[in-house]
Structure 1
């Protein structure tokens, strides 16, 4: 099969949404210079990552690491073929994201209300009201200018602050996000509590109640070493988009002990080795990691694939005839 811009025929079975420039950078003390962010994002896109969450529209005093998000969005939308995603906590953030030109907006709603109050300083009712306001804002635009609106159900597998989280509440709040105007919802293991059996069960409950089109993506952490096992469970159930962070940087600064994003490099290898096309070029991916390492000197980067390298004779999924198992 032919390669197009580093991708095999440009087709993917599982899309990896790179969240390092947002979820990764927000959780480390170092503030990456804006020009380094641009170089990193360009390198990630060159490697074949088609969706990158480039920042968050929150007050700079809360997350100075992301104070340049508007400039980063304006730069990233100029990269051909890249879907530029951002996190927005409220209507004000959504307005700023629209002005910058983002393609996708994600608003988080923590199933754990304790975490919601800590993270957004809002109750469930208040977050849903923000979603309605954002929906009205988007509906005022011509249809072809409306970015995608995703509601992310945070702490849906457990919460460091509250402990176990009701799976019925996950389904109920997911339905309320859709009713309030989200185009789709996503599941987020904010605190790294999830296990593969739980992931399968929650996915099935959501799909059975809200329909298969309601949910396509999942955001998993490797805090307790379950990240890739949970990915396998999610993909086998039918999830088609998985979030990951280059070098495994990041986590949630408002959930104690919740560091540990899935390592993008290891995730790409897992999926490609199983026969799923990701559209990612390994050589360019490791070049992007080098850009990140140079921009964050002294910051630990994680991952087994970058250390061990590819097995001898390894081929991308699209270059061989084997079907996903």
Structure 2
């Protein structure tokens, strides 16, 4: 982090990545409310829905309904829709998403299980999704899953990831995000990944998406900010997990990141009390305690009663 960089933009992903692995089916109305609460907390960017096959990810079957309840009222906010293929991108455009997030995978076995395709197929598919986004006048972001490790193939080298990134840059995306899908990364890997990425391009934005499976999410996020990352994904309450990753646990919690960045003097533009209130509400919707550390311990110094 340079001395000039005293802020970071966080993208709220609880409505999509947070909910997709939950067994309790969340109503369309509650999904809309979660996005609304996120906007109230100060978010400008929310990954609201996924246009996955509803048979494989039933929690996201109402993506069009969620967008119908949001798009007409939030033209000034960025409602991101995740797409796994060109058909998903077409659905995102029709549903009036303001950005398409396309998923590429860095490891072969996970690519096959997640999208029933090879890594080469997914990289080639970037061109089709980019063309759809461009025709609709929308930015396309790319999430590169298993950037730091794969539950089936093991270690994923930074050289392999950078080779894929070089191909992805040809589609001129708005941003590329390195996703620690199984929460195996450690800070030095994050630092190296972003340094290598910036050596390839200084014109696009770089994003990181951390899971807290092994309690490294906050440390990795700090390392990413110190390395000059443009965006961080996070999930209110720390909910989340990939349906195709064994023993997947939640994303790094939004409120945990905001707490540590507030204490470091790094601006996020987000209201921590609203985030905590949303986390408590979401805990009630899901009927269980959420992983967020701040939700258990509270803000320090403690608020006056």
Q: TM-score, normalised by structure 1?
A: 0.87
- Describe how 1:88-167 pairs up with structure 2 within 5 A: 88-141=83-136, 146-167=137-158
| Shift in Å, 1:38 | 1.2
Partner deviation per Cα, 1:66-102 (whole Å, 9 max, x = no partner): 1111121232232364211111000000000001111
Match of 2:295 in 1: 306
Match of 1:220 in 2: 210
CA contact (8 A) 1:76 1:82 kept: no
| Shift in Å, 1:125 | 2.1
Q: TM-score, normalised by structure 2?
A: 0.92
Partner deviation per Cα, 1:255-305 (whole Å, 9 max, x = no partner): 1123131011111111111111111112222222233123212x3302222
Flag structure 2 segments of 5+ consecutive residues without an equivalent. Answer: 1-5
Deviates more, 1:128-137 or 1:81-90: 128-137
Residues 312/181 of structure 1: CA separation in 2 closer, same or farther (3 Å cut): closer
CA contact (8 A) 1:105 1:149 kept: yes
Distance 2:76 2:284 in 1: 26
User: Does 2:81 match 1:86?
Assistant: yes
Match of 2:164 in 1: 173
- Select 2:24's aligned residue among 22, 25, 30: 30
Match of 1:235 in 2: 225
Aligned length: 297
DSSP-derived class of the 1:152 partner: strand
Over the residues paired in the alignment, what is the CA RMSD in angstroms?
A: 1.7
- Select 2:68's aligned residue among 74, 97, 101: 74
- Describe how 1:2-17 pairs up with structure 2 within 5 A: 13-17=7-11
CA contact (8 A) 1:18 1:51 kept: yes
| Shift in Å, 1:313 | 7.6
Flag structure 1 segments of 5+ consecutive residues without an equivalent. Answer: 1-11, 315-325
| Shift in Å, 1:121 | 0.6
CA contact (8 A) 1:57 1:89 kept: yes
Distance 2:297 2:100 in 1: 36
CA contact (8 A) 1:245 1:264 kept: yes
CA contact (8 A) 2:208 2:232 kept: yes
CA contact (8 A) 2:213 2:248 kept: yes
- Describe how 1:176-195 pairs up with structure 2 within 5 A: 176-195=167-186
| Shift in Å, 1:246 | 1.1
DSSP-derived class of the 1:43 partner: helix
- Select 2:51's aligned residue among 52, 57, 80: 57
Match of 2:256 in 1: 266
Distance 1:134 1:303 in 2: 34
- Select 1:19's aligned residue among 5, 13, 23: 13
Distance 2:228 2:193 in 1: 13
| Shift in Å, 1:139 | 3.1
